[in-house]
Chain A
Amino acid sequence: MRSLTFTVAAGCLSAGLAMAETPVLTVYAPDYFVSEWGPGPKIEELFEARCACDLQFKPGDLLPRILLEGDRTEADVVIGLNTDVTKKARESGLFAPHGVDLSPLTLPLEWTDEVFLPFNYGHTAFVYDTTRIETPPASFDALLDAPDDLRLVIQDPRSSISGLALVLWVQAVYGDEAEAAWDKLAPKIVTATKGWSESYGMFTDGEVDMVLSYTTSPAYHIIAEEDETKKAAIFPEGHYFMVELAAKLAGTDQPELADQFMSFVLSEEFQGMIATGNWSIPAALSQDKWPEGFQKLDLPENVLFYSEDEAAELRAEAIEAWRRALSR
């Protein structure tokens, strides 16, 4: 008990001192970011070593919270936004240009956005277990034509970012035929869960054969568990591109620190820890510098992507096609 009291007292004291002396940079981040297993603690450590400041993560729902707070938001920087919401974010006028040189980017597509800065990416993919499926479907068409006893779990596009990416993926591959494609896929879909975690749990528990996840998911199993049996099925039709973004708030009271953080995002130090910190591909790091487990990943040659305007326009239609087909 005494040690607890001491820790608390020491904590308060150091927090008090920190407040008095060092400026605070407030960064809003998604929930998974801040746990001891997420990239947050590492980012905090690396950045504080170079900024003489106190970086504080505030996890939670990013965009709804910022839109609610409006120009009174405490955030200086937001990290972890996604292209599916950037249109709304941009239109709010709350964000400022990042001013970072984009030439170090190594994304599989060209990126010229002046406001939203990518820091890592992956692609949607169906992940399977090689001990249960020896020959996975070799294309999206083959997946649609697979026997109906193939058991898939996906995420609901109305409650999950990855679920939304899947309906856009199907839209990108099949266009006007998207609903017919969903019709063929429907018998194989066991269920659509609220979020990624529930789906992935069902997959690791052996309840389903394949799960909608990311091309980078097998890297976690390879590196952290030395398990090479999890693989992503690669389709020649292409895979939908998922990118995570950082942005600076226009109303920040720490503009210099925020700028410093934005350039830190593309630094080699930051990018070097992203692969095993956030289990996704760093946005500005050449492939030979990726960890060994990432070199082993099967990655698609063909990348599909909708700009935020296209995505915003297609979203309702793509979700509706999914809903109609799976409601039959």
Chain B
Amino acid sequence: MAARALAVSAALALAFLTLGPVAVVLARAGGFGVLGPGDWQAVRFTLWQALLSAAFSVVLAVPVAKAMARRRFSGRGLLVTLLGAPFILPVIVAVMGLIAVFGQAGLVNAGLAALGLPTIDIYGVHGVVLAHVFFNLPLAVRMLFSAWQAVPAEHFRLTASLGLSGQAQWRVIDGPLMARVLPGAFTVIFVICLTSFAVALTLGGGPRATTVELAIYQAMRFEFDLGRAAALAVLQLALALAAGLVALRFAGQSGFGAGRDRVVPRWDGQGPLARIWDGAWIVLAALFLLVPLSTAVLRGVPGLWLLGPDTLRAAGHSLMVALGSTALCMAWALPLASRRGELLALPAIAISPLVLGTGLFLIVRPFMNPFDLALPVTGLVNALMALPFALRILRPEAEAVARDYGRLRATLRMTPLAWLRLIWLPRLRRPMGFAAGLTAALAMGDLGVIALFADPDRTTLPLQVYRLMGSYQMEAAAGAALLLLMLSLSLFWLFDRGGRVNAAT
């Protein structure tokens, strides 16, 4: 019963933190504001680009993840880690990296021009989708990849000894696996893209690419129209919730049952055609994701020598925030790792950071000086925002463990502690490592809420990057961004490696 109480209090805390700030902003505004025609256009564009972005991300992720799961090559472990990097890049760094590759003066156009071909233009809806795929394809790949890793090796042995054709194997393993993972992955990515702001603006090419988040920003910062901001924030939450409900309806349930955790070679896909096919997908994905990343790295190297004490201090703050967020998020996620918990958490990504920050500010204000809470609040908000990702990763495996080993638990009358220590944690180690790595890296790179609470002595690294750019220090900003990337990636790698024991073999 203690577990149930824990789950209920975790759920209550979650509901309070997502709905409370919006309610407070709404109360302060004295009711919802009226939405203009421009706002409805923004809603339409937001939905459209989020649908496209999520669809491309998950569809492309299928062949990439399958190839990664069944091929063994040197550097595979490193590639798996690096492929996670775009997702955790600060937006501004990623966008600059993409422009350096796909922009007018970028590598792709230089190549096309050298061949005498017409150049491409990255600005427009396709640019927004391209950037969102760049950010989210790795997430979808990793979710699928983890699911494939979690299939008991006995299944592959069995399909091999039965001599199942590729098509038959697709029917018994890959198909059900995707039915289980893809709707959730699609939903999470869809909801992330709902709140896109700087990416949509910079690569959208102009006001056609206006998102709801921009309308919130405008209402909040320029017009101080809290009622309109609250109305838009609620609309955004409703869209996320609707997406979550649809996904839950379509998501298949069953896992693959228990196995003996052996690493078994895969016998499928050993024909030359399959090798070429997988190889091509891996190379394409690696190029698409790693070239813009490398430009961010190259641009940052000279700036590393310009980093002052302010930047290093900011890096220290960011590390503290990231570690605090991760611990909190994991403690929060485990009791909520169920279908209901996942749905409940989904709106947390869709809530506008600006409204969330303002709401928390109003809540904290009567009791304390919000400035003193800048870092704890940032940590809390980041844990909240990472929770849906963590649950998406943990939930399928957690449910599978409960289903597969529940009878064993009952038969042996395991104590909760023994269950946790012997079954739960060891079996959830891989998804937990991935989720913790993701949380830590996301918290490192987040800019959302700190901007409202910022204090010169409590700056985080992403905020410092923006400050440097705002003071013409483009080179130092690139250096700070590289430092941020290295720290995020190291945290991600450390946590993820702790969990991903079999992937490199």
Contact = CB atoms under 8 A, between A and B. Distances in A.
B267 to A, nearest CB: 49
Given A32-B467, A192-B201, A60 B454 contact: yes
Nearest to A204: B474
Contacts of A255: none
B58 interface: no
Contacts of B490: none
Contact of B207 (A32, A194, A323): A323
A88 B92 contact: no
Nearest to A202: B99
A205 to B, nearest CB: 7
Contacts of A34: 456, 467
Contacts of A326: 206-208
A164 B217 CA distance: 14
A37 interface: yes
Contacts of A85: 222
Interface in B324-372: 358, 361-362, 365, 369, 371
B56 interface: no
B452 A57 contact: no
Interface in A272-310: 279
A32 B471 contact: yes
Interface in B186-203: 197-198, 201-203
Given A32-B471, A197-B466, A60 B451 contact: yes
Contacts of B221: 61, 63-64, 159
Given A189-B206, A193-B202, A323-B207, A205 B451 contact: no
Interface in A146-161: 151, 156, 158-159
Interface string A48-81: 0000000001111101110111001010000000
B205 A191 contact: yes
Contacts of B201: 156, 159, 191-194
A15 B189 CA distance: 46
Interface stretch (B100-108, B133-141, B144-152, B427-435): B100-108
Interface of B: 28, 38, 92, 95-96, 99-100, 103-106, 123, 197-198, 201-208, 210, 214-215, 217-218, 220-222, 224, 308-310, 358, 361-362, 365, 369, 371, 451-456, 463-464, 466-474, 476-477
8 contacts: A31-B466, A40-B456, A60-B452, A197-B466, A201-B477, A205-B100, A279-B471, A327-B207
Nearest to B95: A198
A220 B471 CA distance: 9
A64 B205 contact: no
Report whether over half of chain B's contact residues are helix, strand or loop; otherwise say mixed.
Answer: helix
Nearest to A41: B456
A159 B210 CA distance: 11
A204 B123 CA distance: 18
A189 B471 CA distance: 24
Contacts of B470: 31-32, 35, 38, 195-197
A159 B471 contact: no
B202 A35 contact: no
Given A217-B472, A326-B206, 13 more contacts: A37-B468, A37-B476, A61-B452, A156-B214, A159-B218, A190-B104, A190-B123, A197-B469, A207-B103, A207-B106, A322-B207, A323-B38, A327-B208
Nearest to A315: B222
A35 B217 contact: no
A68 B205 contact: no
Contact of B310 (A35, A57, A208, A217): A35
A151 B202 CA distance: 14
Given A197-B92, A205-B99, A159 B104 contact: no
A179 to B, nearest CB: 13
A40 to B, nearest CB: 7
A217 B474 CA distance: 13
A68 B473 contact: no
A230 to B, nearest CB: 11
B38 A190 contact: no
Interface string A169-202: 0000000000000000010011111111110111
Contacts of B369: 74
Contact of B206 (A61, A192, A204): A192
A59 B455 contact: yes
Nearest to A149: B104
A31 B463 contact: yes
B310 A194 contact: no
Contacts of A35: 310, 464, 467-468, 470-471
A69 B100 CA distance: 42
A108 interface: no
A38 B471 contact: yes
A57 B365 CA distance: 19
A37 B99 contact: no
Given A40-B456, A197-B470, A159 B208 contact: no
A206 interface: yes
A64 B220 contact: yes
Given A38-B471, A191-B206, A61 B451 contact: yes
A36 B466 contact: no
A91 to B, nearest CB: 11
B34 to A, nearest CB: 14
B452 A65 contact: yes
Nearest to B220: A64
A192 B96 contact: no
B92 A190 contact: no
Nearest to B308: A36
A208 B203 CA distance: 13
B134 to A, nearest CB: 17
Closest 5 CB pairs between A and B? Answer: A32-B470, A37-B471, A197-B469, A35-B467, A158-B218
A199 B112 CA distance: 25
Interface in A80-133: 84-85, 88
B222 A158 contact: yes
Contacts of B103: 202, 207
A224 interface: yes
Contact of B92 (A38, A158, A198, A207): A198
A32 B402 CA distance: 52
A69 B28 CA distance: 11
Nearest to B310: A36
Contact of B214 (A69, A159, A207, A322): A159
A91 B476 CA distance: 40
Interface centre among A57, A63, A72, A201 (most CB of B within 10 A): A201
A197 B454 CA distance: 19
A67 B451 contact: no
A74 B469 CA distance: 28
